[in-house]
């Protein structure tokens, strides 16, 4: 695996906690979501801006919904 990839072994309770902490830290420091399906679909052109906004609306009062709406901005 090259730069930008990480292998996260979550086969034990300890490994799962380490993986969760890693992802939380990464998202917080970089301001990006890891494996956000709506973001991926939008970036790949599989959904339109209007589709993304519609998908974000039910979550608009959460950090996740606000993140999706920021993608449009």
> Mind listing the pLDDT tens digit for each residue in 56-72?
999 999 999 999 999 99
**72, 45: one domain:** yes
**22, 55: one domain:** no
**46, 71: one domain:** yes
pLDDT at residue number 70: 96
Angle at 9 between CA 15 and CA 3, to 5 degrees: 120
Q: Which domain holds residue 51?
A: 36-73
pTM for the full predicted model: 0.79
**41, 56: one domain:** yes
Number of domains the chain is built from: 2
> Mind listing the pLDDT tens digit for each residue in 6-43?
889 999 999 999 999 999 999 999 999 999 999 999 99
Cα–Cα distance, 4 to 17 (Å, whole number): 21
User: Tokens 């679909």 belong to which residue?
Assistant: 41
> Mind listing the pLDDT tens digit for each residue in 43-55?
999 999 999 999 9
**43, 69: one domain:** yes
pLDDT at residue number 72: 96
Compute CA distances 42 → 13, 19, 45, 55, 59, whole Å: 34, 26, 5, 11, 17
**19, 43: one domain:** no
């Amino acid at each position: 695996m090259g730069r930008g990839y990480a292998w996260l072994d979550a086969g034990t309770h300890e490994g799962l906690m380490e993986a969760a902490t890693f992802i939380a830290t990464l998202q917080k420091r970089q301001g990006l979501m890891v494996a956000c399906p709506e973001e991926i679909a939008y970036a790949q052109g599989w959904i339109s801006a209007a589709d993304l906004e519609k998908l974000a609306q039910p979550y608009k009062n959460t950090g996740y919904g606000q993140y999706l709406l920021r993608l449009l901005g």
